[in-house]
Structure 1
Amino acid sequence: MRLVNGDAVEVSALWQWLNDERELRGRVVREPAPIGATELGGFADLFTVAVGAGGSGTVLATSLIAWIRTRRTTATVTVEADGKRITLDIATVDDIFPLLHELLTPTTTTADEG
């Protein structure tokens, strides 16, 4: 997960918000994002959140939506998992929630599916 267009206060606020979730506590790791070849070094931080079976993906999706709704910010949150990427901001948060939930909720295969 990457917070883009936020400042240090926003990064700290998101990190604290996610760690306040009982199911996510201890699973959120914050790292400075690498600067791309065409970037001048704008502000972005990476968060790695370990999710697995047991609903932690749903907790993360719900928590991200709630955090964005409480902010008055231009920051966007980009979430990547399984080679897919979704970007959330205050304007798209309601439309994106079903996709975010699908992205963060592990799928299970049945014996019939292989």
Structure 2
Amino acid sequence: MSDCLFCKIVAGDLPASLVHETGNTLAFRDISPKAPVHVLVIPKAHYANVAELGAADPALAGDVLATAAAVAEKEGVRDTFRLVFNTGAAMGQTVFHVHAHVLGGGRTGFGEV
């Protein structure tokens, strides 16, 4: 999608602080972190949210989870991290390209459960 912020990052048209990349996924630091470790994991293909991704391409959804685990390992939070997917504006989604927040290293700004 030409107007999607994350698609522009995937295309290399916008800069990002890359943490990890695979053939199908990209992970980069959040520009407004809510925890000491706050990395976004996205599929390179555009899907609006996690429900759409899961229904259309379960294997790619698995790749996103595997990348999130690799990021947690790289960032030193493998045993103590949170993985958050927001779906819909009412739940805090602001970029409508599915993305997982990998949060760790202390309390987060997402509300504790």
Pick the structure with more helix per residue.
1
Interval containing the TM-score (normalised by the shorter chain):
0.3 to 0.5
Larger Rg: 1
